[in-house]
Amino acid sequence: MKDFSIEVHGAHAYDATGAISEPIYLSATFRHPGFRQSTGYDYGRVANPTRGELESAMTMLERGGCTWAMSSGMAAINIVFMLLSAGDHVIFSNDLYGGTVRLANEVYARYGIEATYVDTSDLAAVRAALRPSTKLIYIETPSNPMMIISDIRALADLAHDAGALLAVDNTFLSPHFQKPLTLGADLVLHSGTKYLCGHNDVIAGFLTVAENHDALAERIQRLVVSSGPNLSSMDAWLMLRSLKTLGVRVERQAATAKRIAEWLGTQRHVTQVYYPGLLSHPGYELQCQQATGFGGMVSFKVESAELAQEILGRLKLIAFAESLGGVESLLTYPKVQTHAEMPEELMRATGLDDKLLRLSVGLEDAEDLMEDLDQALNA
């Protein structure tokens, strides 16, 4: 099936009632037919029918082997880190969500996990950073918030030649636009709170493993059952409902984002625009090769930090708020909000500074959004 059909129907098998909407199974435990007999559901932390339907739909969308729906994107990232052992080495994109960096530097570094941050769009830099102990390359593409594009297929080859895994945070594009597992990645992650939810009302995360990775899937299943990061059945049902409109939402958001990015490039107070759908973006051609869209995220710099902060207070339609991917447009100040704990040397390396703003384009009328940005820029 094509993506739009998967998003609407998933793997939904109708029950005896013929219910179009997947039922919400709120039971924490399930009755056994007899001794050593099971329906396939024993305890809600291990398996739940509603969550299982969501996980099947995500597996189909990502063209993967199996998926785990979790309580947050950070829970999914944590499970990936739990695959590592003391003495293992990880290569990270140097432009990365601040929470991922915090988890690596403040938590897993205490357990002997070593990390190197490099520009993963530079294959030579990644190759130079590889060690015999490298077990994981972890990237975001496009990256948050500088929109750096990394070559998934080439990085998968580098990782596998070194005996390592490639994990891709696919939050910014969603599986509707990009399918890293089909390009050789071993693991794909999402903050489901963002585009997959799309309505700013559910905190969720997803981890999908590639097909034919049975041993890896078994290890992840053991970690998930043991640590209990599972998504609740009610939130799983809400996510199923959100997936039905994923394609129509993200395609509209991407179209509007491109218009706004082009418009921002003409504004006298804007000094730089970061959007992979612009021909001037250094990763444009690569993005066209490995994805079917450019997403709804636009970062841009203005003339001064003072102006950036003033813009945030002048907004009328767009909300000054953290997060992204919802139907409402949000403007974020990464240096203080999403990336406040990012080491200064990493921000300097990527150009993330106090003049940068990150716009998550929603479903409002494009003209209305540009009018709001215009008055905020030029008040």
Report pLDDT digits (tens) over 246-292: 999 999 999 999 999 999 999 999 999 999 999 999 999 999 999 99
Neighbours of 245 (CB within 10 A): 16
Give the CATH class of 247-378: alpha beta
Is 90 exceeded by the pLDDT of residue 11? no
State pLDDT tens for residues 348-371: 999 999 999 999 999 999 999 999
Lowest mean pLDDT among 96-100, 198-202, 286-290: 96-100
What is residue 342's predicted lDDT score, i.e. its pLDDT? 83
**332: its two tokens:** 């974020």
- Tens of pLDDT, residues 224-237: 999 999 999 999 99
What secondary structure does DSSP assign to 238-278, as a single string?
A: HHHHHHTTHHHHHHHHHHHHHHHHHHHTT-TTEEEEE-TTS
Domain ranges of the chain: 3-243, 247-378
pLDDT in tens, 156-174: 999 999 999 999 999 999 9
- Catalytic residue status for 138: no
Q: What is the per-residue pLDDT across 103-121, written as a single tens digit (0 to 9) for each?
A: 999 999 999 999 999 999 9
- Cβ burial, residue 265 (10 Å; 0-12/13-18/19+): middle
pLDDT tens string 322-340: 999 999 999 999 999 888 8
Q: Does the CA dihedral 181-109-83-76 come out positive or negative?
A: negative
Q: Tell me the mean pLDDT in the region 76-94.
A: 98
Residue range 195-203: mean pLDDT, rounded = 98
Residue 144 to residue 16: CA distance in whole angstroms: 45
**pLDDT value at position 68?**
98
Residue 221: predicted pLDDT: 97
304 versus 16: the higher-pLDDT residue is 304
Q: Is 97 a catalytic residue?
A: yes
**359 strand-pairing partners:** 298, 331
Q: Which letter, b or e, does each residue of 177-208 get, where b requires 16 or more Cβ atoms within 10 Å of its Cβ? A: bbbbbbbbbbbbbbbbbbbbbbebebbbbbbb
- Give dist(CA 172, CA 294) in Å, integer: 9
Catalytic option among 3, 41, 45, 354 = 45
> pLDDT-derived band of residue 13, with 50, 70 and 90 as boundaries?
confident
Instruction: Give the per-residue pLDDT at 100.
Output: 95
- Specify whether the CB–CB gap between 233 and 25 falls below 8 A: yes
pLDDT on residue 338: 85
Is pLDDT at 212 greater than 90 in this prediction? Answer: yes
Residues shown for the chain: 379
- The percent of residues in the chain predicted with pLDDT above 90, rounded, is 91
Q: For the chain, what percent of residues have pLDDT higher than 70?
A: 100
Identify whether 169 is a catalytic site residue: yes
Choose among 233, 232, 244: nearest CA to 197. Answer: 244
Banded pLDDT at 12 (limits 50, 70, 90): confident
Catalytic residue among 51, 135, 179, 194: 194
Mean pLDDT (whole number) for 178-198: 98
Q: Catalytic: 268?
A: no
CATH label, 3-243, candidates 3.40.50.2300, 3.40.190.10, 3.65.10.10, 3.40.640.10: 3.40.640.10
Among candidate residues 88, 95, 119, 169, the one labeled active-site is 169
Mean pLDDT of 1-17: 88
Write down the pLDDT at residue 340. Answer: 82
pLDDT of residue 343: 86
Q: What pLDDT score was predicted for residue 341? A: 80
Evaluate if residue 346 carries a pLDDT over 90: no
Q: Which residue among 25, 97, 195, 333 is the active-site one?
A: 97
